[in-house]
A and B are shown apart, each in its own frame.
Chain A
Amino acid sequence: MTETEKEIIVTGNEKPRIGVFVCHCGVNIAGVIPIEDLVEYAKTLPDVVFATEYKFMCSDVGQTLIKEKIQEQNLNRVIVAACSPRMHEPTFRLVLKEAGLNQFLFEMANIREHSSWVHMKDPEGAYEIAKDHIRLAVNKARELVPLEVQTVEVDPSCLIIGGGIAGMNAALDLATEGYKVYLVEKTPTIGGHMAQLDKTFPTMDCSACILTPRMVDVARNENIELLTYSEVTDVTGYIGNFEVTILKKPHYVDQEKCTGCGVCIDHCPVSVGNEFDLGLATRKAIYIPFPQAVPGQYTIDMDSCIRCGICASPDVCEPEAIVYDDEPEEIKVKVGTIIVATGWDLYDPTELKQYGYGRYPNVITGLQMERLLSSFGPLLGKPVRPSDLKEPHSIAFLQCVGSRNFREGGNKYCSRVCCMYATKQARQYKEKHPDAEIYIFYMDIRAFGKGYEEFYESAGRNYGINYVRGRIAEVREGEDHKIIIRSEDTLLQQPIELEVDMFVLSCGLEPRADADKITSLLRIQRSGDGFFMEAHPKLRPVDTLTEGIFVAGVAQGPKDIPDAVAQAKGAASSAAALMAKGEVEVEPFFAVVSPERCIGCGMCVENCAYGAVELVEDRRFGTIASINQALCKGCGACAGNCRCSAINIKGFTAEQIFEMITGRF
Chain B
Amino acid sequence: MSKVVFETEDEEEVKVDKDWKPRILAFLCNWCSYAGADLAGVSRIQYPATVRVVRVPCTGRINPFFILKALTDGWDGVVVSGCHPGDCHYISGNLVARRRFALLNELLEFFGIEPGRVNFMWASAAEGERFAVLIEKATERVKKLGPNKRFLKKW
- Which bucket holds chain B's interface residue count? 35 or more
- Bound complex: CA A610 to CA B63 (Å): 19
**Which of A84, A110, A520, A609 meets B90, CB within 8 Å?**
A609
Interface string of B33-69 (1 = CB under 8 A from A): 0110110111011111111111111111111011001
Q: Which of B9-17, B109-117, B121-129 contacts A (4 or more CB under 8 A)?
A: B121-129
Residues of chain A lying within 8 A (CB to CB) of residue B32: 525
**Which of B46, B56, B60 meets A120, CB within 8 Å?**
B46
Interface residues of A in 123-174 (CB under 8 A from B): 124-126, 128-129, 132-133, 136
B66 and A657: CB pair below 8 A?
A: yes
Measured CB to CB, the nearest residue on chain A to B28 is A114
Interface residues of B in 80-127 (CB under 8 A from A): 86-93, 96-97, 100, 124-127
B53 and A125: CB pair below 8 A?
A: no
A640 and B42: CB pair below 8 A?
A: no
Residues of chain B lying within 8 A (CB to CB) of residue A87: 38
Residues of chain B lying within 8 A (CB to CB) of residue A664: 23, 73-75
A114 and B37: CB pair below 8 A?
A: yes
A519 at the interface (CB under 8 A from B): yes
A217 at the interface (CB under 8 A from B): no
B132 at the interface (CB under 8 A from A): yes
Known: A125-B49, A520-B87. A526 touches B126 (CB 8 A): yes
B137 at the interface (CB under 8 A from A): no
Residues of chain A lying within 8 A (CB to CB) of residue B141: none
B38 and A652: CB pair below 8 A?
A: no
B133 at the interface (CB under 8 A from A): no
Measured CB to CB, the nearest residue on chain A to B88 is A523
Residues of chain A lying within 8 A (CB to CB) of residue B125: 525, 533, 545
Tell me the smallest distance from the CB of B68 to a CB of chain A, in Å: 10
B66 and A126: CB pair below 8 A?
A: no
Residues of chain A lying within 8 A (CB to CB) of residue B34: 84, 86
A652 and B56: CB pair below 8 A?
A: yes
Tell me the smallest distance from the CB of A373 to a CB of chain B, in Å: 37
B35 and A661: CB pair below 8 A?
A: no
Residues of chain B lying within 8 A (CB to CB) of residue A133: 52-53
A649 and B61: CB pair below 8 A?
A: yes
B56 and A657: CB pair below 8 A?
A: yes
**Which of B52, B86, B93 meets A635, CB within 8 Å?**
B93
A118 and B91: CB pair below 8 A?
A: no
A661 and B73: CB pair below 8 A?
A: yes
A621 at the interface (CB under 8 A from B): no
B61 and A129: CB pair below 8 A?
A: no
Known: A520-B87, A607-B60, A635-B90. A86 touches B96 (CB 8 A): no
Tell me the smallest distance from the CB of A355 to a CB of chain B, in Å: 30
**Which of B41, B57, B89, B97 meets A114, CB within 8 Å?**
B41
Known: A118-B132, A533-B126, A658-B69. A637 touches B41 (CB 8 A): no
B61 and A120: CB pair below 8 A?
A: no
B41 and A640: CB pair below 8 A?
A: no
B42 and A525: CB pair below 8 A?
A: no
Residues of chain B lying within 8 A (CB to CB) of residue A476: none
Tell me the smallest distance from the CB of A262 to a CB of chain B, in Å: 45
Interface string of A222-246 (1 = CB under 8 A from B): 0000000000000000000000000
Residues of chain B lying within 8 A (CB to CB) of residue A654: 63, 65-66
Interface residues of A in 606-654 (CB under 8 A from B): 607, 609-610, 633-637, 639-642, 645, 649, 652, 654
B142 at the interface (CB under 8 A from A): no
B93 and A118: CB pair below 8 A?
A: no
B126 and A652: CB pair below 8 A?
A: no
**Which of A126, A610, A634, A642 meets B49, CB within 8 Å?**
A126
A504 at the interface (CB under 8 A from B): no
- Bound complex: CA A658 to CA B62 (Å): 11
Interface residues of A in 521-574 (CB under 8 A from B): 523, 525-528, 533, 545-546
A609 and B54: CB pair below 8 A?
A: no
**Which of B30, B70, B100 meets A640, CB within 8 Å?**
B100
A660 at the interface (CB under 8 A from B): yes
A635 and B44: CB pair below 8 A?
A: no
- Bound complex: CA A132 to CA B22 (Å): 13
B54 and A657: CB pair below 8 A?
A: yes
A121 and B58: CB pair below 8 A?
A: no
**Which of B40, B61, B73 meets A637, CB within 8 Å?**
B61
A545 and B35: CB pair below 8 A?
A: yes
B145 at the interface (CB under 8 A from A): no
- Bound complex: CA A625 to CA B69 (Å): 26
Tell me the smallest distance from the CB of B49 to a CB of chain A, in Å: 3
Tell me the smallest distance from the CB of A411 to a CB of chain B, in Å: 15
B25 at the interface (CB under 8 A from A): yes
- Bound complex: CA A519 to CA B84 (Å): 12
Measured CB to CB, the nearest residue on chain B to A526 is B126
B69 and A662: CB pair below 8 A?
A: yes
Tell me the smallest distance from the CB of B80 to a CB of chain A, in Å: 11
Known: A636-B58, A636-B60. A110 touches B73 (CB 8 A): no
A381 at the interface (CB under 8 A from B): no
Residues of chain A lying within 8 A (CB to CB) of residue B23: 132, 664
- Bound complex: CA A110 to CA B35 (Å): 12
B57 and A640: CB pair below 8 A?
A: no
B56 and A637: CB pair below 8 A?
A: no
B73 and A662: CB pair below 8 A?
A: yes
Residues of chain A lying within 8 A (CB to CB) of residue B96: 607, 637, 640-641
A37 at the interface (CB under 8 A from B): no
A635 and B124: CB pair below 8 A?
A: no
**Which of B40, B52, B62 meets A129, CB within 8 Å?**
B52
Tell me the smallest distance from the CB of B42 to a CB of chain A, in Å: 7
- Bound complex: CA A664 to CA B57 (Å): 22
Which of A124, A523, A527, A636 gathers most chain B CB within 10 Å? Answer: A636
A330 at the interface (CB under 8 A from B): no
Which of A118, A119, A527, A649 gathers most chain B CB within 10 Å? Answer: A118
**Which of A113, A122, A640 meets B61, CB within 8 Å?**
A640
In addition to A121-B46, A609-B92, 13 A-B residue pairs with Cβ atoms within 8 Å of each other are A84-B41, A85-B55, A118-B41, A122-B49, A133-B53, A520-B87, A636-B93, A637-B58, A639-B61, A652-B61, A654-B63, A661-B54, A664-B23
**Interface CB pairs A-B, < 8 A, 15:** A84-B41, A125-B48, A523-B89, A523-B91, A528-B126, A528-B127, A609-B90, A635-B60, A636-B57, A636-B62, A639-B61, A640-B60, A640-B62, A640-B96, A661-B70
**7 interchain residue pairs of minimum CB distance:** A125-B49, A636-B61, A113-B41, A637-B60, A635-B90, A609-B91, A117-B41
- Chain B residues with CB under 8 Å of chain A are 21, 23, 25, 30-32, 34-35, 37-38, 40-42, 44-63, 65-66, 69-70, 73-75, 86-93, 96-97, 100, 124-127, 129, 132
